Amino acid sequence: MTSGRAQVIVVDAANVVGSRPDGWWRDRAGAARKLLLKLASLQERLQETTDVVVILEGAARAAVSDPDAPDVGTLRVVLADGSGDDTITAVTAETAARDDNPTITVVTADRGLRQRIEPLGATPAGPRWLLDQLPRDRLRHHP
């Protein structure tokens, strides 16, 4: 964005990972690790005025707490203690209250969550929007 206004992208990791039927359910922490590495790469490519915040819930939380946890650079990872949607809403509200008035994009396909974040001034985007910006896997699993 040319105005230099801060931007924040809040990622519903469970929703993004779950949007592709690639076997993620067999290793939720592993799938989250893959997403985190791709998001860290995206964070490096984005302007300094853009922050990426990823919300991990449930078994995916192990992606950052186990010995195989990846180095995610400046990527902000928030571990949901309970509901991922509640945590995403809280992070969005906290971000909306910042003095620098950032633009906020919440990446999710969850209609209920979209209804919760829009009144806070956030714009929803579907997982495809984000996935199209991430580095592609070197090995394709499907033809």
Structure confidence by residue, pLDDT tens digits, 18-50: 887 776 767 788 899 999 999 998 888 887 779
Structure confidence by residue, pLDDT tens digits, 88-104: 999 999 999 999 999 99
The verdict on residue 140 lying in a domain is no
The verdict on residue 141 lying in a domain is no
Nearest Cα residue to 14 out of 52, 42, 55: 55
Mean pLDDT of the chain: 86
Q: Which pLDDT belongs to residue 95?
A: 96
Q: Which residue has the tokens 């394709």?
A: 140
The verdict on residue 106 lying in a domain is yes
Domain with 28, as residue range(s), is 7-131
Tell me the whole-structure pTM to 2 decimals.
Answer: 0.86
The tally of domains found in the chain comes to 1
CATH number of the domain encompassing residue 127: 3.40.50
